[in-house]
Amino acid sequence: MTGPELTTHLAARTTTMAPVVSGDPAAAAPLVIARPPTERDLAASLPVAEKVRLLSGADSWRTHDCPSVGLRQMVTSDGPNGVRGATKDERNPSACLPSPSALGASWDADLVYRLAAALGAEARSKGIDVLLAPTVNLMRTPLGGRGFEFFAEDPVLTGGLASAFVRGVQSAGVAATVKHFVGNDSETERWTYDARVSESVLRELYLLPFEACVRVAGTWLVMAAYNKVNGSPMTENLRLLRDVLKNEWGFDGVVTSDWHAARSTHATALATLDLSMPGPEGPWGELLVRAVDEGIVTKDLLDDKVARLLRLARRVGALTQPAVQLAPGDASGRAANDRVIARTTNGQAPALVDAGLLRHAAAESFVLLRNADDALPLDRSAISRLAVIGPNAVSPVIQGGGSAGVTPVSVSVPADAIRAELPDHVQVSVSAGCQTWHTVPDAPPGILTDPVTGTPGLHLEFIDREGTVIAAEHRASANLAWWDGVPDGIGWGKPGRVVLTTSFRPRESGSHLLSVAGVGSLLLQADGVTVIDGVTAVPDDPVEAMTRPGELRAGISLEAGTPARLRVEFLPAAGGEGPLAVRLGIAPVAEDDDLLAAAETAAAAADAAVVIVGSAELTESEGFDRPTLALPGRQDELIARVAAVNRNTIVVVNSGMPVLMPWAGQAAAVLYAWLPGQEFGTALADVLLGQAEPGGRLPVTIPADETTVPVLHAEPGADGVLDYSEGLLIGYRGYDAAGLAPAYAFGHGLGYTTWDYESVECARWLPDGGDLELSVRVRNTGGRSGKEVVQAYLAEPGDPARRGRPVRALAAFAVVRAAPGESAQVTVTIPARAFARYDESLASWITQGGEFTVQVGASSRDLRLTAAVRLTALSSARPGRA
Ligand code: BGC
């Protein structure tokens, strides 16, 4: 790891406090102490019932206030690819960042820090105190539905970038929440599965990024996951929460539950869970008060939870008395202190992350996998006809599904952005090529009209059981969700209905598909005629009530320009859980055969074809894993047919995780664009036309087929057990151990220039902890300035594969940039921990003597330089740095 993540930011802060004078004397016993009160003193001053009240949420996103100790409510919001706020609402849009797998592909901790700092500032400006990000689970399987929210398949890359993310967010005085602790690496049965994973594998892989975020970056919260690890639910996992996270790593922040993950009173409280979210219900409340009265949960343990919450409040500026006094030179603390002084920007527009930074970051994440005959960048002077093809060229997927999703401020559509960047004389044709959607797409903006206001969108009403309208408003979006804030009488199992009315003006004549989605009873009338009347099932995972609620469809024939009056009625199901959501979808019926043929014709008539394929809206989401690595729909066929008629076919893959690319050898170039956030189009135009270099390298192996993937499906057995029997051999470690070739190796990526690796030297052992500094010299041998990601892998002495250990593992990395012909020297620091392994019998990290080999290169399969490092003794490695 290199870059800012190595700096320690746990500098102790001294605090001085005036005695508490404000508040309700009945609620708080008077404090009589000679020194300024600590958070612990404040906690101890509160009655038990008040302490317990503070430890469950006030609603879906807020904590409780406690004026008697100067505590205001703290507001949480999901991340990581944006800060949504406490509502999902098109009137409250957010900057949409590249998803974490894209940031993983940048391998650039400085860039991640800058983005996260800007995200923190946006959060702050929206009154958010706690960002529920970053997600630092590992891409154990490429099918993981939430893999787009993870940085990488490797813990060192994940830990390095996630630490930068934490420091960036917290530099704005907003708390980061490292999640989901631990073993939530896949989604199937995530609420209940039991990850069986050995202690050494936990330590060396899955815990490592958490450890880095705690010990190196000083995160202020950790979120306990839904799943179990080795038989114990993570919210009740005494050993991992108390012994490892708090006692061993010294975590002094708050452990929050994942939402609804606290499912017991005593076990969670005793395991040192600090905060049960959301609220106001939950397993604590009265039951926890009783447990304290009965001595099952000690007052001391209760005070520790409250003190941690108050410490968090102080850090984010939610504890008004007194202000933070800074340790000298503590920049992140300074920002926090500024927040204490000038907390709110009420009434001002939110400080959205700068679009230019988002555009740059997306380009830095794009990975050029293949570039035969320098097909890219396109030579704009040699092109007079360009065919832009593919479902994602016109309907890009900028983010994954689930809690991370935001309503973006804007979306740069690839086809439009490419057109805009080309001179007027270039003819650009645009064709979708095929359809990939899983649910009927939302009606495009501008095609619906609110019958009450006459403006684009729809009229929303909440109607009680007597048929009285209890609330109504205009909405621009036909895809709505609520956690809180719906009127009484509306909700799961309640009698009230949600009603949408709108007028739809079709752009073309012919058959259209209409759909309504939501968990419960759904009715759709078109011009007064009922076309849908049915009930959808309650999903297993509550998040699916929002991400993929049951959908009912009907076909209807419409005339272009003749409006149809649509009315949707939604009665939420009894037994439903999670966010309340309802959606209206509309799409003209199109035949794939026709779309494919049109794309082929366009490609044949063009000088070059850019085919933008990838995930559809619901291919990748929280709540479920993908069933296959194949691209959805007939996209493989589309590419093959286009490449057969146009030898300058450039394929762009818009997926957050790996897909199979059976056509890769037929394409002139293949560019992986991930889920790149709102600036997809502008960044893509920059890269295709050469204004920017594709700066990314793979943070995950791209498989050649499904049979050789080290871990493919992640379905627990009938007993709920998910066996991590592959041990340390996930991702490239698994391919290397088995001697199998992936399609594209971990770390691979071409860029627009070439590099020679000239030398590596073991420069010195750093005195404080035994980290090893390497000095690597590379030279830009190509024709333009560029970025190289220098990767250092470490191979253990002897034959590690025979011991089930990786042949080599990433130990450190650094970004280097140089002009054509120039050489650059970069320092890459291998942490002492990279030389150690976790010995289960000793319950400790140990470093084996012998000859280690450092291999330096451009990917895990393109190693250009080696150096030997001899360690003489068996020793206990200093665990100070992950
Ligand atoms: C997700 C978390 C998220 C929380 C709140 C959970 O279902 O697993 O990542 O922060 O919901 O939306």
Taking the centre of ligand 1 as the mean of its atom positions, its distance from the CA of residue 572, in whole angstroms, is 21
- List Cβ neighbours of 454 (8 Å cut-off, separation of 6 or more): none
Q: With a cut of 90, say whether residue 41 has pLDDT above it.
A: yes
> What secondary structure, in 3-state letters, does 77-105 show?
EECCCCCCCCCECCCCCECCCCCHHHHHH
Q: What share of the chain is helix, strand, coil (3-state, %, to 5)?
A: 25, 25, 50
Closest-CA residue, ligand 1 atom 8, reads 258
Q: What is the pLDDT of residue 27?
A: 42
As to burial, measured by CB atoms within 10 angstroms (0-12 exposed, 13-18 middle, 19+ buried), residue 392 is buried
In 392-476, at which residue ranges do the beta strands (DSSP E only) sit? 427-431, 448-449, 458-463, 469-475
Taking the centre of ligand 1 as the mean of its atom positions, its distance from the CA of residue 259, in whole angstroms, is 6
Closest-CA residue, ligand 1 atom 3, reads 403
Taking the centre of ligand 1 as the mean of its atom positions, its distance from the CA of residue 403, in whole angstroms, is 6
Task: Please name the amino acid found at residue 261.
Answer: A
Distance CA 166, CA 562 (A): 53
**278: cis peptide before it, omega within 30°?**
yes
Taking the centre of ligand 1 as the mean of its atom positions, its distance from the CA of residue 404, in whole angstroms, is 8
> Which 3 state secondary structure label does DSSP give 118?
helix
Is beta strand 130-132 parallel, antiparallel or unpaired with respect to 76-78?
parallel
Closest-CA residue, ligand 1 atom 2, reads 258
Q: Among 84, 189, 258, 275, which is best to mutate for testing ligand 1, by the most ligand atoms less than 8 A from CB?
A: 258
Taking the centre of ligand 1 as the mean of its atom positions, its distance from the CA of residue 537, in whole angstroms, is 22
How does pLDDT run across 568-618, given as a tens digit for each residue?
999 999 999 999 999 999 999 999 999 999 999 999 999 999 999 999 999
pLDDT band for 25, please (50, 70, 90 cuts).
very low
Distance CA 604, CA 585 (A): 34
Query: Any idea how long the chain is?
Result: 882
The CA radius of gyration of the chain, in Å to the nearest whole number, is 28
Among residues 130, 170, 87, 124, the alpha carbon closest in space to that of 348 is found at: 124
Query: Average pLDDT in the 310-327 region?
Result: 75
Q: What is the largest CA-CA distance in the chain?
A: 85
Instruction: Ligand 1, residue 133: give the atom nearest the CA.
Output: 10
Query: Average pLDDT in the 822-848 region?
Result: 96
Instruction: Ligand 1, residue 543: give the atom nearest the CA.
Output: 7
Ordered DSSP codes for 284-305: -HHHHHHHHHTTSS-HHHHHHH
Tokens of residue 448, six digits = 């619906």
Q: Among 61, 77, 128, 132, which is best to mutate for testing ligand 1, by the most ligand atoms less than 8 A from CB?
A: 132
- List Cβ neighbours of 480 (8 Å cut-off, separation of 6 or more): 88, 460, 498, 500, 581, 582, 583
How does pLDDT run across 705-750, given as a tens digit for each residue?
999 999 999 999 999 999 999 999 999 999 999 999 999 999 999 9
Closest-CA residue, ligand 1 atom 5, reads 259
Q: How many CB atoms lie within 10 A of CB 801?
A: 18
Q: With a cut of 50, say whether residue 20 has pLDDT above it.
A: no
Q: Ligand 1 — pocket residues by CB below 6 A?
A: 78, 132, 179, 258-259, 403, 543
Q: What is the pLDDT of residue 12?
A: 24
How does pLDDT run across 435-481, given as a tens digit for each residue?
999 999 988 778 999 999 999 999 999 999 999 999 999 999 999 99
Q: Among 403, 546, 624, which is best to mutate for testing ligand 1, by the most ligand atoms less than 8 A from CB?
A: 403
Instruction: Ligand 1, residue 184: give the atom nearest the CA.
Output: 8
pLDDT band for 14, please (50, 70, 90 cuts).
very low
pLDDT exceeding 90 applies to what percent of the chain? 88
Q: Using N-to-C axis directions, what is the helix angle for 299-316 and 331-341, rounded to 10°?
A: 80
As to burial, measured by CB atoms within 10 angstroms (0-12 exposed, 13-18 middle, 19+ buried), residue 718 is exposed
Mean pLDDT rounded to a whole number for the chain: 92
Within 13 Å of residue 557, how many CA atoms lie on the same side as its CB? Answer: 1
Taking the centre of ligand 1 as the mean of its atom positions, its distance from the CA of residue 577, in whole angstroms, is 14
Q: With a cut of 50, say whether residue 21 has pLDDT above it.
A: no
Among residues 511, 622, 514, the alpha carbon closest in space to that of 566 is found at: 514
Task: Please name the amino acid found at residue 323.
Answer: A
Q: What is the DSSP letter of 65?
A: P
Phi, psi at 571, each rounded to 5°: -115, 110
Q: Among 62, 130, 185, 259, which is best to mutate for testing ligand 1, by the most ligand atoms less than 8 A from CB?
A: 259
Q: With a cut of 60, say whether residue 134 has pLDDT above it.
A: yes
Distance CA 381, CA 150 (A): 40
Distance CA 327, CA 558 (A): 69
Closest-CA residue, ligand 1 atom 6, reads 259
Yes or no: say if 778 and 756 are a contact pair by the CB < 8 Å rule.
yes
Q: What is the pLDDT of residue 348?
A: 77
Tokens of residue 110, six digits = 């400085």
pLDDT band for 329, please (50, 70, 90 cuts).
very low
Q: Residue 495 is inside which H or E element, if any? A: none
- Its sign, for the CA torsion 343, 346, 348, 351, is positive
Query: Average pLDDT in the 175-193 region?
Result: 98
Yes or no: say if 207 and 845 are a contact pair by the CB < 8 Å rule.
no
Closest-CA residue, ligand 1 atom 11, reads 259
Distance CA 734, CA 724 (A): 13
Q: Residue 371 is inside which H or E element, if any? A: strand 367-371
pLDDT exceeding 70 applies to what percent of the chain? 92
Distance CA 329, CA 341 (A): 18
Q: With a cut of 60, say whether residue 330 has pLDDT above it.
A: no
Query: Average pLDDT in the 192-212 region?
Result: 98
**377: cis peptide before it, omega within 30°?**
yes
Q: What is the DSSP letter of 500?
A: E
Taking the centre of ligand 1 as the mean of its atom positions, its distance from the CA of residue 668, in whole angstroms, is 41
Counts for the chain of helices (H) and strands (E), in that order:
20, 36
How does pLDDT run across 54-93, given as a tens digit for each residue?
999 999 999 999 999 999 999 999 999 999 999 999 999 9
- Of residues 3 and 413, more confidence is placed in 413
Tokens of residue 238, six digits = 């005494």
Q: With a cut of 90, say whether residue 557 has pLDDT above it.
A: yes
Closest-CA residue, ligand 1 atom 12, reads 403
Query: Average pLDDT in the 307-313 region?
Result: 98
Closest-CA residue, ligand 1 atom 4, reads 259
Strand partners, 551: 517
Instruction: Ligand 1, residue 78: give the atom nearest the CA.
Output: 10
Taking the centre of ligand 1 as the mean of its atom positions, its distance from the CA of residue 80, in whole angstroms, is 11
Phi, psi at 779, each rounded to 5°: -130, 135
Q: What is the pLDDT of residue 109?
A: 98
Distance CA 460, CA 444 (A): 18
Taking the centre of ligand 1 as the mean of its atom positions, its distance from the CA of residue 12, in whole angstroms, is 31
Q: What is the pLDDT of residue 742?
A: 98
Q: What is the pLDDT of residue 37?
A: 86
Q: What is the pLDDT of residue 13?
A: 23
Distance CA 36, CA 321 (A): 11
Query: Average pLDDT in the 768-772 region?
Result: 84
Taking the centre of ligand 1 as the mean of its atom positions, its distance from the CA of residue 518, in whole angstroms, is 20
pLDDT band for 349, please (50, 70, 90 cuts).
confident
Among residues 783, 819, 746, the alpha carbon closest in space to that of 369 is found at: 746
Instruction: Ligand 1, residue 623: give the atom nearest the CA.
Output: 7
Ordered DSSP codes for 536-600: -PPPSSTTHHHHS--EEEEEEEE-TT--EEEEEEEEEPTT--S-EEEEEEEEE---HHHHHHHHH
Distance CA 882, CA 107 (A): 17
- Its sign, for the CA torsion 378, 379, 382, 383, is positive
In 232-338, at which residue ranges do the beta strands (DSSP E only) sit? 232-233, 254-257
Distance CA 220, CA 806 (A): 33
Strand partners, 56: 276
Q: With a cut of 60, say whether residue 786 has pLDDT above it.
A: yes
Which of the residues are catalytic? Answer: 258
**451: cis peptide before it, omega within 30°?**
no
Helices of type H across 618-679 = 635-645
Yes or no: say if 300 and 71 are a contact pair by the CB < 8 Å rule.
no
Q: What is the DSSP letter of 19?
A: P
Instruction: Ligand 1, residue 180: give the atom nearest the CA.
Output: 9
Q: What is the pLDDT of residue 10?
A: 22
Q: What is the pLDDT of residue 446?
A: 82
Taking the centre of ligand 1 as the mean of its atom positions, its distance from the CA of residue 417, in whole angstroms, is 33
Instruction: Ligand 1, residue 225: give the atom nearest the CA.
Output: 8
Phi, psi at 615, each rounded to 5°: -70, 155
Q: What is the pLDDT of residue 882?
A: 40
Taking the centre of ligand 1 as the mean of its atom positions, its distance from the CA of residue 371, in whole angstroms, is 39
Instruction: Ligand 1, residue 179: give the atom nearest the CA.
Output: 9
Q: With a cut of 50, say whether residue 686 has pLDDT above it.
A: yes
Q: What is the DSSP letter of 692?
A: S
Distance CA 882, CA 871 (A): 19
Tokens of residue 467, six digits = 């048929």
pLDDT band for 34, please (50, 70, 90 cuts).
low
Tokens of residue 168, six digits = 């960036």
Task: Please name the amino acid found at residue 267.
Answer: A
Query: Average pLDDT in the 338-362 region?
Result: 73
Instruction: Ligand 1, residue 190: give the atom nearest the CA.
Output: 8
Instruction: Ligand 1, residue 149: give the atom nearest the CA.
Output: 9
Q: Give, in degrees to the nearest 5, the angle at Cα 214 between 212 and 215.
A: 70
Instruction: Ligand 1, residue 403: give the atom nearest the CA.
Output: 12
Taking the centre of ligand 1 as the mean of its atom positions, its distance from the CA of residue 309, in whole angstroms, is 20
Q: Among 59, 61, 78, which is best to mutate for testing ligand 1, by the most ligand atoms less than 8 A from CB?
A: 78
Distance CA 435, CA 446 (A): 22
Taking the centre of ligand 1 as the mean of its atom positions, its distance from the CA of residue 216, in whole angstroms, is 24
Among residues 31, 72, 39, 65, the alpha carbon closest in space to that of 311 is found at: 39
> Which 3 state secondary structure label does DSSP give 733?
helix
As to burial, measured by CB atoms within 10 angstroms (0-12 exposed, 13-18 middle, 19+ buried), residue 55 is buried
Is beta strand 469-475 parallel, antiparallel or unpaired with respect to 458-463?
antiparallel
Distance CA 802, CA 495 (A): 64
Q: With a cut of 70, say whether residue 210 has pLDDT above it.
A: yes
Q: With a cut of 60, say whether residue 878 has pLDDT above it.
A: no
Distance CA 449, CA 428 (A): 31
Distance CA 781, CA 804 (A): 39
pLDDT band for 873, please (50, 70, 90 cuts).
low
